[in-house]
Structure 1
Amino acid sequence: MTSHKAIVSGISGRYAVALFELALESKALEAVESDLSTLKAMLDESADLRDLVSSPLYSRDQQTAAIEAVAKAAKLGDLTVKFLGVLAANRRLGALGSTIAAFEKLIAHHRGEVRASVVSARKLTKTQLGNLEKKLKLAVGQDILIDASVDESLLGGLTVKVGSRLIDDSLKTKLDNLAIAMKGVQ
């Protein structure tokens, strides 16, 4: 139990630990993980849902009713629905996104996996992601889960963040460093 608390922190961490322990106890880790993945995608796609969970203008009852309707429409499991009800009742729906992220960290730790955040200038192919995953696994010594995203402002290359380590091999950073070096020459 204390090892879980060391992985995540803050309010969202406490809620994530509680949900993780309940899911582990009731042998529903995979179901809750799937539910939270669905919720995460819904939050990413819907400005209205983001507004619902973060706006203080909605009353506790309005948030509770709305999040229950969302959960029902998404066909989320009982444990996840109850958890969302607790968040709404405690006026903590604003922490839903960070709670999902904390839960993902707990799941990864439970499985012995490490999350790597990879940002590239263009979308990586499955082959490229597979090769990168193999190389990161060799470097880190653990299984790697890659969260890939695209940032066209990088121009080329990519940035990789594993834990507290950041590897920035983007063309934008190289050009910025070159510009700084050229200023020193003048």
Structure 2
Amino acid sequence: MEASSGNFGGGAGGGGGVQASIGGRYALALFELAADAPNGAGSIDAVEASLAAVRQALDESADFRTLTTSPVVARGQAAKAVLATADRLGVDPTTRSFLGVLAENRRLGQLPAIIRAFRQLAARYRGEVTAEVTSAHPLDGDQVDALKQQLRQRVGRDVNVDLAVDPDLLGGLVVRIGSQMIDSSIRTRLNALSSAMKG
């Protein structure tokens, strides 16, 4: 574990201007470690899949969210619990070590930002564009595939989607690709209509 900690610590500090945020620096360290593995692309895919499982666990488990965000959970206790969760989720060894390092450094609260930044790095590595998609309800596999196809036609290249759910949207989607936002949510249309009526 100490060896892993050294690798991650060095990589995180060496991120420079590529990723300015704390989450971005940790994501860059994890990405570099995966890319430097003997099976670079395969390792990146494995870490990305593991992080997706962690993201799902954060979305679905209030206990796991509390573990990663509560300042009162002792460092050793957080590390032990997060590694047990990692084993339950079946994450790859690189991601498991990384989660342990985050717990030891009290950075588990950065997980959502780290996962988002890693996905962007992996997408850029594969020549994809990343779209941040927020929907009122979870999308099923067919809906995600259809959305990817529509976005691919719009931007002219493969699109990797980062999914989030916001029940306040009242239906529809909000899609952000870089600085471009495509908003088809009912709430936004209602707000626009309300503004137009006031004008």
Question: TM-score of the superposition, structure 1-length normalised?
Answer: 0.82
* Equivalent in the alignment of 2:34: 23
Paired with 1:159 and 1:108, the residues of 2 have a C-alpha distance of: 20
Letter in 2 for 1:135: Q
Q: 1:92 to 1:167 in 2, by over 3 A?
A: same
Residue deviations 1:92-140, cap 9 Å, x none? 1111121111111111111111122334556667666545433322332
The 8 Å contact of residues 148 and 161 in structure 2, kept in 1 or not, is answered as yes
Q: SS at the partner of 1:80? A: helix
* 2:104 paired with 1:82: no
Larger radius of gyration: 1
Extract unaligned runs of 5+ from structure 2: 1-10
- Partner Cα distance (2:84, 2:180) in 1: 41
* Cα 1:176–1:115 shift into 2, 3 Å: same
Q: Count the aligned residue pairs.
A: 182
RMSD between aligned alpha carbons? Answer: 2.6
**Counterpart contact for 1:114–1:144, Cα < 8 Å:** yes
Tell me: CA distance 1:77–1:122, structure 2 relative to 1, closer, same or farther (3 Å). Answer: closer
Query: Is the CA contact 1:7–1:105 (under 8 Å) kept in the aligned structure 2?
Result: no
Residues 1-186 of structure 1 mapped to structure 2, 5 A cutoff: 8-26=19-37, 27=39, 28-120=43-135, 129-148=144-163, 153-155=168-170, 157-184=172-199
Closer, same or farther: CA 128–44 of 1 in aligned 2, 3 Å: closer
Q: Distance in 2 between matches of 1:159 and 1:97?
A: 19
3-state SS of 2:175 partner? strand
Q: Residue type matched to 1:12 in 2?
A: G
Structure number with higher relative contact order (C-alpha < 8 Å, ≥ 6 residues apart): 1
Using a 3 Å threshold, how does the CA distance of structure 1 residues 178 and 43 change in structure 2: closer, same or farther? closer
